[in-house]
Amino acid sequence: MNYLQRDIQRCPRVAVYGTLKKGQRNHHWLEGATLIGHDRLDAITLYDLGPYPGAKLAASNGTVVEIYAIDAQQLKRLDELEDYFHDAPNEGVYDRAVLATQYGEAWCYLYNADVDDTQHISSGEW
C-alpha cells in the first residue's frame, strides 16, 4: 500500500478555503469530488497572499471552508497543485494537516511561509 492509499483511508475528505472553492479558478481540480457541505473552522486563520489565500494553524473567528469527499488520485492532484511534498512537508508551499469539521476529519492545506507582513483576512472568507 502506498502513502496515498494510507492517507485517503485515514481521511477521505478535504477542506478548501480559496481558489479550490466552487466558482473559483482552481475548482476544476476537484472534478469528480463530492461536496459534503460548508463549515467555519476556528482552528485556522486566513491570510491574503495576493492571487490566493493561505491558512495558518492559529485560532480565529473562523475560516469558511467547503468540505469534499475525495479519492487517492484527487488527493495526489491536490498535493501537486498545492506544492505539497509528502516526504518533506516543510519544503513545499503548503503542508497539510487533518482538522476536525462538522462532517468529520478533513485534510486542509496550510501555508508554510512566514505571514508576519501579510494581511490577515478577519472575515475568514476569500
Residue ranges covered by each domain of the chain: 3-115
Place of cell 489565500: 53
Strand order, beta sheet including 94-101: 34-41, 63-69, 13-16, 104-111, 94-101
pLDDT of res. 9: 54
Question: What does CATH list as the number for 3-115?
Answer: 3.10.490.10
pLDDT higher than 70, residue 113: yes
Is 31 in the active site? no
pLDDT in tens, 33-85: 999 999 999 999 999 999 999 999 999 999 999 999 999 899 999 999 999 99
Closest listed residue to residue 121, CA positions, set 51, 54, 26, 24: 54
Tell me the pTM: 0.89
Instruction: Spot the catalytic one: 31, 66, 82, 125.
Output: 82
pLDDT in tens, 1-10: 444 444 545 6
pLDDT in tens, 75-112: 999 999 999 998 999 999 999 999 999 999 999 999 99
